[in-house]
Amino acid sequence: MTEANIEIDGLTPSQMAQQADVSIDTLHYYEREGLLQAISRNASGHRRYSATDVAWVKVLRCLRETGMTMEQLRTYCQLGEQGDHTQPERLDLLLCHRSKVVQKIEAMQQSLALVDYKINFYRDALSKKDKQ
């Protein structure tokens, strides 16, 4: 396939994997787990991903990397499929996630402070040694 008709045909699995920065296996896994809906197929049954799919997988990765579990992600997807009337629940889910992310960032920053403290300790110790 040439690059010319990507917009019409969609991305091949390997192109998609590259664009979304995940492995093909992970894409299959997400599909199995209900995180990706109705990926279109070409005549020979091979997947063809759309630009929307790319964007969605990036969102999924973003949520995953900030600690959202597969379970929660599945819930979020299912709510999306049920239509606009689930928006309040989706908002709740995101607010809940948001607060966890904020907590994590704060925890990381605290830990960073300890790491910095230790770094300074070693720097001091080493600079004193140098002087001797």
Partner DNA sequence: TCTTGACCTCGAGCGCGCTTGGGGTACTAG
Partner DNA sequence: CTAGTACCCCAAGCGCGCTCGAGGTCAAGA
- String marking each residue 65-84 x if it binds DNA according to CB under 7 A: ----xxx-------------
Q: Binding to a second copy (CB under 8 A): which residues in 73-112?
A: 84, 87-88, 90-91, 94-95, 97-98, 101-102, 104-105, 107-112
Phi, psi of 11 (to 5 degrees): -85, 145
Which residue in the block uniquely carries the two structure tokens 């005549």? 43
CA distance 98 to 61: 15
Write out the binding residues for DNA, residues 37-56 only, by CB under 7 A. Answer: 41, 43-47
**Nearest Cα to Cα of residue 56 among 98, 11, 92:** 11
Q: Which residues contact 49 (CB under 8 A, 6 or more apart)?
A: 10, 11, 12, 13, 15, 16, 27, 39, 40
Size of the site for a second copy (CB under 8 A): 33
Chain residues that interact with DNA, rule: CB under 7 A: 12-15, 22-26, 28-29, 41, 43-47, 64, 69-71
Chain residues that interact with a second copy, rule: CB under 8 A: 59, 62-63, 65-66, 84, 87-88, 90-91, 94-95, 97-98, 101-102, 104-105, 107-112, 114-116, 118-119, 122-123, 125-126
